[in-house]
Amino acid sequence: MDHTESIRLMAAEKYLLGELTPEQREQFEEHFFDCPECALDVRAGAALVEHSKVVLAEPVAVSPVRTPVAAKVGRWAWLRPAFVVPVLAILLVVVGYQNLVTYPQLKQLASSPQILPWASINVSTRGTSTTQISTHPREGFHLLVNIPPDSHYASYTFDLSSPSGRLEWSRTTPAASSDEARSIYVPGANQEQGIYTLAVRGNTAANQSSDLGHYSIEVQIQK
């Protein structure tokens, strides 16, 4: 999937809403991994969704409206104007605030320079201790992965697993001709405290894969 097709399909919005097919989802994930603009849209949209959950979860006080009580209340009684109008008014305020204030602020924040935590991993080093990195709630971090140049491999695959053992994502990138350093951004939206595992594989042109190592990253979330 290229950037033009992503815009045409509104892939970022459908990705967050879970409306993409499994094939489209996989293609879009491969695309926004290398597309700063689409990655920005996904990060801002994810933050907006989380903020909306917080806003909508807050209790809303609605002043009672006295209306004549019908002799028999049907199952559609909740559609009475006395109930619907205040709820619609509240929803309009929430949506308006998000569109005029929250979303522009999130877009601006996502497009502004940020100083984020990072850690370096050397694939050539075997038996290394766990790499530690400290972040704040919902703050992402970078992993700088150094891979020794090897003409034997046509691409590399990175698999990141959460502390619970769940595969967070898998990405494959072509091998470079000289410098094999890779900077991987790990979003903080669903971040857990604990030890993540980064598995690195080298892939040949004949689709043969070799395990280059598993590396532990202990994420400490500072409250």
170 lies in some domain:
yes
Residue 163 near residue 116, CB atoms below 8 Å: no
Q: What percent of the chain has pLDDT over 70?
A: 64
| Residue 154, in any domain of the structure | yes
pLDDT (tens digit, 9 = 90+) per residue, 50-86? 655 554 555 555 555 555 555 454 545 544 555 455 5
As for how many domains the chain has, the answer is 2
Q: Token pair for residue 50?
A: 């989380």
Q: How confident is the model at residue 156 (pLDDT cuts 50, 70, 90)?
A: very high
C-alpha 153/C-alpha 110 separation (Å) is 35
Pick 14 or 117 by higher pLDDT.
Answer: 117
The string of DSSP codes covering 125-147 is --SPPPEEEEE-TT--EEEEEE-
pLDDT level of residue 88 (50, 70, 90 thresholds): low
Least confident of 48-57, 170-179, 194-203, 207-216: 48-57
Measure Cα distances from 29 to 24, 43, 48, 117, 218 in Å.
8, 13, 19, 23, 25
Q: With 90 as the cut, is the pLDDT of residue 163 above it?
A: yes
% of the chain surpassing 90 pLDDT: 20
Asked if the structure places residue 142 within a domain, the reply is yes
Distance CA 128, CA 151 (A): 25
Among 38-47, 182-191, 204-213, the minimum mean pLDDT is found in: 38-47
pLDDT at position 101: 53
Same domain, 39 and 87: yes
Of residues 131 and 22, the one with the higher pLDDT is 131
**Domain that includes residue 196, residue range:** 118-221
Residue 153 located in a structural domain: yes
Q: What is the pLDDT of residue 178?
A: 65
